[in-house]
A and B are shown apart, each in its own frame.
Chain A
Amino acid sequence: MTETANPPEAGTPALVVNNVSHSFGDNKALNDVSLEIPRGRFVVLLGLNGAGKSTLFALITRLYDNVTGEIRIFGHDIRRRAMAALQRLGVVFQSRTLDLDLTLKQNLLYHCALHGIRGREARKRTERALEIVGLADRAKEKVRNLSGGQARRVEIARSLLHQPSLLLLDEPTVGLDIGSRESVVNIVRSLVEKEGLAVLWATHLFDEVRPTDLVVVLHKGRVLFNGSVPELLAQTQTQSVSDAFRKLTGNRTEELAA
């Protein structure tokens, strides 16, 4: 498949956000945000609650349009070429999106349909997606019977059904115990390694950052840092990501106060 080897959008980053601002009334949730996610990289979006992470996600998933700037997914502007952009995008939302009364399989088949996948192909993909997250044997159970961590894994399976090249996860590990957290992180990281997915992982938990990741620090609607972990530590002259984060955001608040 030459087409696959050399897609038309070859070379463009998985996600480009350029000078995006967004406000709700007087509240400026995002202030001139720019960031870039290269293909096949695991990018951590670090920010406290209210930093604007969810607003950024809402804009990227086109819940509402960016009024200023531009957002491109593999080169496709999400406003002008929404269909092409959304086909390449998988999302795991912070809130639960599964139907508790339906089985895992029914839930996933519904999401296949939302991407126009039907019949045998849909059943096959559902099966494999559940295998990837290690829940294949529970396909016929209702979602209600799952634990929080398991439900989260089903959500990840759901987001993979249409084979997105870019995966967004909004605080996917919130409220999970250590074991579930680890398995969720492992699933997503192995997808990055094996399938070359680009991942934007929003979190406020610093220990989820690994030294090989890229980091975007979002604070009060502004991007304070955008680069690799060693760069982050060097720039802030700190030893750990959490110290670096505190230093960055601490400085910022002082600046704003001054």
Chain B
Amino acid sequence: MTALSPTVQHRVGATAPISEQAWGGPPPRLGPGAYLTCFNGIVWREVLRYLHQRERFMSALVRPLIWLFIFAAGFRQTLGVSIIPPYETYVLYEVYVVPGLLGMILLFNAMQSSLSMVYDRETGAMRTLLVSPFPRSFLLISKLIGGVAVAAIQAYVFLAIFYFWEAELTGWGYPLLLAAPVALAALNIFNSITGKLSERFLQNALLLGAAAEIAAIVAVIYFWKLSPPSMNYLTVAPALVVSGLMLGSLALFMSSVIRQLENFAGVMNFVIFPMFFASSALYPLWRVKESSVLLYELCLFNPFTHAVELIRFALYGQVDWPSLGIVLACTAVFLGAAIFAYNPSKGLIARRGGPGSGA
């Protein structure tokens, strides 16, 4: 960009020390407060990064919505869902598929953060994380929870959309809700074509849009006299966190095994698709059993099935204990493997030659 101006060069180095603490003295002791600071910093960075990547934000939302609006709507007539727990009445296929789509959000997010970790490792951002003086397992778990926080944001935006979609608003309800997002999207498209708008303008537009959206939501709930959601959006939170942790630690482990970015296409084919389709996300397991016992067994072995079932029951305020047990056990195993893989002396990076080793 700009060449170094003489004034800048003049200022370089001619300054006060960085803090009151003398340079070269012993570093401070890192107590629990410092751990908390580090944890917050890592989680906040993940969230910030996510919010700044508008494309990623959009695509993460559009994916489950396409499944809900197009796939589920089309599938509605083909597949009847009988009354199985936790459902107490017949449910529409759209309702059945919600936990599966929440699982999908978690799964894609986990894999995407694994991708970003491979990318981080190539660029060196992972290395700056690992030279932090805190224990490595603590750093990795913090990073994992940051990823889960991002996934939870998406899951709740999805649930909000589902809520209004289910409410079948009349009159101006939907246009009112969609006005702000559509306007923002139009602005962004306009900007990506012409490139005329400043970063600052877009930032302000985003804030304004968010405020308008919240106002629209409140207004719609009030004037259309909407009832509370048909599912329990509060009890699902812990299920989302636990499932997110399981998928995140699986992804974290994979990120230590994959060396090149290109392999992410392989991850899609060999991890995301099989996990998603061979599970109870799209169809109840008894249906699967009718067509193929082998596939049914496979689905039962798939930890993703249990994550989805955990979420499904949690959406109705119930705990599916076997699924919870399996999900927790899988989390422990995957997390252990990931921490092992990142352990500097035993881990896989040591054996592979590691990132940017230049060797």
Contacts and interface: CB of A to CB of B under 8 A. Distances in A.
Interface of A: 1, 3-4, 7-9, 24-25, 27, 29, 39, 49-50, 52-55, 58, 61-65, 67, 79, 82-84, 86-89, 91, 93-99, 101-102, 106, 109-118, 121, 124-125, 128-129, 131-135, 142, 145-147, 149-150, 158, 160-163, 165, 179-180, 183, 186-187, 190-191, 194-197
A55 B25 contact: no
Given A7-B26, A133-B12, A128 B19 contact: yes
B12 A150 contact: no
A58 B345 contact: no
B199 A179 contact: no
A99 B33 contact: no
A63 B26 contact: no
Nearest to B22: A4
Contacts of A50: 358-359
Given A62-B131, A163-B24, 7 more contacts: A4-B22, A29-B359, A134-B12, A134-B13, A149-B4, A190-B13, A195-B23
Contacts of B52: 101-102
B292 interface: no
Interface residues of B, number: 65
B42 interface: yes
A202 B310 CA distance: 52
A55 B355 contact: no
Given A128-B17, A131-B15, A161-B18, A96 B24 contact: no
A190 B358 CA distance: 29
Contacts of B214: none
A108 B347 CA distance: 29
Complex A-B, nearest 3 residue pairs according to Cβ-Cβ distance, in ascending order: A113-B41, A116-B34, A54-B358
Given A4-B26, A116-B30, A89 B13 contact: no
A114 B30 CA distance: 11
B58 to A, nearest CB: 15
Contacts of B258: none
A8 B27 CA distance: 12
Given A1-B25, A134-B12, A195-B23, A24 B353 contact: yes
A142 B35 CA distance: 27
B1 A147 contact: yes
B358 A53 contact: yes
Nearest to A180: B4
B40 interface: yes
Nearest to A124: B19
Contact of A24 (B15, B16, B357): B357
Given A65-B350, A99-B49, A93 B37 contact: no
Nearest to A194: B13
A147 B183 CA distance: 33
A94 B123 CA distance: 9
A102 B49 contact: yes
B24 A102 contact: no
A118 B35 CA distance: 11
A113 B356 contact: no
A134 B11 contact: yes
Given A116-B30, A128-B15, A163-B18, A87 B350 contact: no
Contact of B48 (A61, A102, A145, A150): A102
A142 B202 CA distance: 14
B289 interface: no
Contact of B357 (A29, A158, A162): A29
A113 B30 CA distance: 12
